[in-house]
Amino acid sequence: MPTKPKEIRAVSAAIQENGCFLLVRRGRAPAKDYFAFPGGRVEAGETAEQALARELLEETGLTVTTASPYREIVLNGDDEKTYRLTVFCATVMTGEPVAGDDASEAGWFSADAFAAMPLTDSTREIIEELQHLAAS
């Protein structure tokens, strides 16, 4: 009987500022060329919060100031791996994002831009949830 592949722990940061979300275009699998929240794998010996701060800095050059877990999602990646993703609602120090590491683009994007953007399904879902909560 085949065994279930080991889940890979990962984190991402849902960051909203002035009605825009911080997104990166992924430069590698999983979800290569799709826009998503900045984030990545939790390395051995790291807490989820440490991984979030490291990944955000590597992918955007921005420093996290606050972060709290929002939601956990299990994703089947296009690389045939399973990811247990913890999405954090976070804030960052002021600054302009600069794409780095495995991000090919980074920036602040408004809701008007989302319709034309290739977003991962989970990113689109979380954005819609957070926009709904903000409007309530």
> CB–CB of 21/127 below 8 Å?
yes
Domains recognised in the chain with CATH numbers: 7-135 (3.90.79.10)
Cβ neighbours of 63 (radius 10 Å): 12
d(CA 66, CA 99): 21
pLDDT in tens, 16-41: 998 899 999 998 877 889 999 999 99
Provide the annotated active-site residues: 105
pTM beyond 0.75: yes
- For the stretch 49-108, pLDDT in tens is 999 999 999 999 999 999 999 999 998 877 788 999 999 999 999 889 999 978 899 999
